Amino acid sequence: MLIDFKWLSLACRNAMRNRRRSLVTLAIAATGTAAALLGGGFALHTYESLAQASARDTGYLVLAAPGHFAGIESMPLEHGLAGRSELTRELLTHPQVTRVLPRLQFSGLVSNGDKSEIFLGTGVDARQEFLVKGPFMQVEDGALLDDGNDSSGGAAAAARGPGIVLGKGLARILNAKPGSSLTLMSTTTAGSLNAIDVTVTGIVSSGVADIDKRLAMVDLSTAQNLLVTDKVSYLSVYLDELAHSDAVGQTWRSQYAGKLEIRSWLDQAVFYQSVKGLYNRIFGFLGVIVLVIVLFAIANTLSMAVLERTREIGTLRAMGTTPGEVTRLFTLEGLVLGSGGAALGMALAAGVALALLKSGIQMPPPPGRTAGYPLVVTVSPALYAAAALAVTVLAALASLLVSRKAANQSVVEALAHV
């Protein structure tokens, strides 16, 4: 251990012989490391946000009747789920389950008397649905279905009929606002046409313009009355941790085999998977470029050091130093430069990430969305460790490659080098 420390101490002193060149190399390694970490941290934050949005929208696990996910129905709710109350009580006994929400998807026409528009509706548990949506559904005007703030009394509320929440795009098309009366028309499970009068309680935004142009949400009982059914489309199950989805889902697939089809949030998250695949390629390619730049910077520095110290290498060889020991010395020098640059880069990346978190800088809305989002970079210990290891190992490898030839040349040639 003492010998190793002496070699390391000597490598540190040698690395700082030419301070300007070594500092430039450290700066390049630090900047490259920080750039890779900031890009990776941005991608990780994007993944986390999209995963949360997808899981909150569909549920961590989705339980439906066989045939539902095929999407082929000759009649509404042909593959609907019956007996939801008993199944909900059974699912809630699982220690990792926090909520089980029924959802009924339907479509039809919504009319204000003068104009009709196609809508995509969802019947929801009004007491819990908007709690799980969290920040991914913003109230633009009015109140949600479960607010229950009715200053005009229960009789007046009953006279107005059941409530409905509209996406802001659909509300703009219908010129609707909180308090407006609308009529929903849809096809029942028996194939006949049914209609029901509703009152707009609130206008919301999902952040996606195309969704907001068709979004309509009513209480589950209202949707069931419109479709004349007691079924639901599926049950959305929320767990205590998103990471538990696979394990719980696998258990239930065995338990309810042949009775239910079970999908995880990831199976439903097409947008998340597309963005993750794109970002992995983009930031992976940029990361490779950064590592190559760091590799060549350190290799250039050590190549110049080897060239300048060729006669010194010959002297060491003449004194009995083996080629392996000479190579070890230069490899340790590269290791010092690489690890030093990685440490500085990690500190720089963490500082920038903290500054971005405090500054509250907003990114512009992505294509197809109506709202921006804060520029946040995730500080991941695993990512930082991987980046530091990659830079350090590449630096040591570059040093090993450039020093082998000089370490193995003859002593006479090394001493005669000019």
Do 12 and 119 lie in one domain? The reply is no
The answer to whether residues 212 and 370 touch, using CB atoms and an 8 Å cutoff, is yes
66 part of a folded domain: no
| Secondary element (H or E) of residue 156 | helix 154-160
Q: For residues 138 and 268, give the distance between their C-alpha atoms in angstroms, rounded to a whole number.
A: 22
| 153 three-class SS | coil
Do 21 and 142 lie in one domain? The reply is no
Q: Pick the more confident residue, 365 or 281.
A: 281
pLDDT band of residue 153 (cuts 50, 70, 90) is very low
Cα atoms in the 13 Å half-sphere on the side-chain side of 389: 6
pLDDT at site 120: 94
Do 303 and 231 lie in one domain? The reply is no
pLDDT at site 337: 85
pLDDT at site 2: 42
Do 316 and 196 lie in one domain? The reply is no
- Condensed to tens digits (0 to 9), the pLDDT of residues 274-286 reads 989 988 999 889 8
The two beta strands, 234-239 and 61-64, are antiparallel
Average pLDDT, the chain: 86
- Using the structure block, give the residue that is written with the tokens 């730049």: 293
Q: For residues 313 and 318, give the distance between their C-alpha atoms in angstroms, rounded to a whole number.
A: 9
268 part of a folded domain: no
Count up the domains in the chain and report the number.
2
Question: Which has the closest alpha carbon to 108: 198, 178, 176, 179?
Answer: 198
166 part of a folded domain: yes
- Condensed to tens digits (0 to 9), the pLDDT of residues 177-218 reads 999 999 999 999 988 999 999 999 999 998 888 899 999 999
Question: Which has the closest alpha carbon to 125: 207, 59, 206?
Answer: 59
pLDDT at site 157: 47
pLDDT at site 123: 94
The answer to whether residues 166 and 200 touch, using CB atoms and an 8 Å cutoff, is yes
Residue 323: pLDDT over 80: no
Distances (CA, A) of 190 to 78, 105, 111: 10, 16, 22
pLDDT band of residue 98 (cuts 50, 70, 90) is very high
The percentage of residues in the chain with a pLDDT greater than 70, rounded to a whole number, is 93
Do 280 and 172 lie in one domain? The reply is no
Distances (CA, A) of 60 to 205, 220, 236, 267, 408: 22, 20, 7, 10, 61
The percentage of residues in the chain with a pLDDT greater than 90, rounded to a whole number, is 46
pLDDT at site 417: 59
263 part of a folded domain: no
pLDDT band of residue 133 (cuts 50, 70, 90) is confident
- Condensed to tens digits (0 to 9), the pLDDT of residues 246-283 reads 999 999 999 999 899 999 999 989 889 998 998 899 98
Do 217 and 328 lie in one domain? The reply is no
Q: Pick the more confident residue, 361 or 159.
A: 361
pLDDT at site 154: 45
Helix residue ranges, H only, 309-367: 310-318, 323-359
Residue 149: pLDDT over 80: no
Residue 365: pLDDT over 90: no
178 part of a folded domain: yes
Average pLDDT of span 312-334: 78
The answer to whether residues 366 and 275 touch, using CB atoms and an 8 Å cutoff, is no
365-372 long-range Cβ contacts below 8 angstroms, 24+ apart: 368/208, 368/209, 368/210, 369/207, 369/208, 369/209, 370/205, 370/207, 370/208, 370/209, 370/212, 371/138, 371/205, 371/207
Q: For residues 132 and 144, give the distance between their C-alpha atoms in angstroms, rounded to a whole number.
A: 13
246 part of a folded domain: no
87-96, 236-245, 393-402, 405-414: the lowest-pLDDT one? 405-414
Domain boundary among 178, 212, 237: 237
207 part of a folded domain: yes
pLDDT at site 351: 95
Average pLDDT of span 103-126: 93
Q: Domain range holding 173? A: 99-237
Average pLDDT of span 364-385: 84
31-35, 228-232, 315-319: the lowest-pLDDT one? 315-319
Residue 415: pLDDT over 70: no
Average pLDDT of span 71-98: 91
Average pLDDT of span 151-156: 43
Q: For residues 211 and 202, give the distance between their C-alpha atoms in angstroms, rounded to a whole number.
A: 16
pLDDT at site 151: 42
229 part of a folded domain: yes
| DSSP-assigned beta bridge partners for residue 261 | 64
Q: For residues 344 and 30, give the distance between their C-alpha atoms in angstroms, rounded to a whole number.
A: 5
- The amino acid at residue 114 is D
Q: How many helices (H) and strands (E) does the chain have?
A: 15, 12
Do 162 and 290 lie in one domain? The reply is no
* Token pair for 109: 């026409």
Of the ranges 150-154, 361-365, 381-385, the best mean pLDDT one:
381-385
Q: For residues 207 and 222, give the distance between their C-alpha atoms in angstroms, rounded to a whole number.
A: 26
